[in-house]
């Protein structure tokens, strides 16, 4: 049985939860939107930071820490954005780091989005 994690993130009109827990695992996908649901401006660094802040908020809303994160899938729309995303990403984790993969994609759900992440974390006693 899955359980939605309540967050203070923008309530999307799309049929989704920002995070769910099932079988001892939290699953989440995060995008660079602000409290009004608008994609933040300022390029890849601003969007990476907003995405990671939304992610951290979600992890903390599940009463976890970033140490519980086991895997992160990073999506960017241009290969040149990856070093910038990596710089921001590194501010949120300590070794041992989560397993991760990075993909360069033609586009994301909103045209102005430059990045998105999908992540998984261990939820003890769930």
Helices (H), the chain: 43-61, 82-90
Q: What pLDDT digit, counting tens, does each position of 80-108 carry?
A: 999 999 999 999 999 999 999 999 999 99
Please tell me the total number of residues recorded for the chain in this structure: 126
CATH of the domain at 112: 3.30.1330.40
d(CA 61, CA 55): 10
Helix (H/G/I), strand (E/B), else coil: 90: helix
Q: What pLDDT digit, counting tens, does each position of 113-123 carry?
A: 999 999 999 99
Residue 76 sits in which domain range? 3-122
Count how many domains the chain has: 1
d(CA 54, CA 84): 17
Q: What pLDDT digit, counting tens, does each position of 5-45 carry?
A: 999 999 988 999 999 999 999 999 999 999 999 999 999 99
pTM higher than 0.95 for the full model?
Answer: yes
């Amino acid at each position: 049985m899955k359980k939605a994690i309540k967050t203070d993130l923008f309530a999307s009109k799309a049929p989704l939860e920002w995070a769910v827990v099932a079988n001892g695992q939290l699953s989440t996908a995060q995008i660079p939107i602000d409290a009004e649901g608008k994609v933040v401006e300022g390029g890849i660094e601003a969007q990476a930071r907003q995405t990671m802040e939304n992610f951290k908020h979600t992890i903390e809303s599940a009463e976890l820490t970033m140490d519980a994160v086991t895997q992160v899938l990073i999506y960017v729309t241009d290969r040149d954005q990856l070093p910038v995303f990596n710089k921001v990403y590194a501010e949120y984790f300590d070794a041992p780091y989560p397993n991760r993969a990075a993909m360069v994609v033609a586009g994301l759900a909103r045209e102005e989005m430059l990045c998105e992440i999908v992540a998984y974390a261990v939820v003890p006693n769930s």
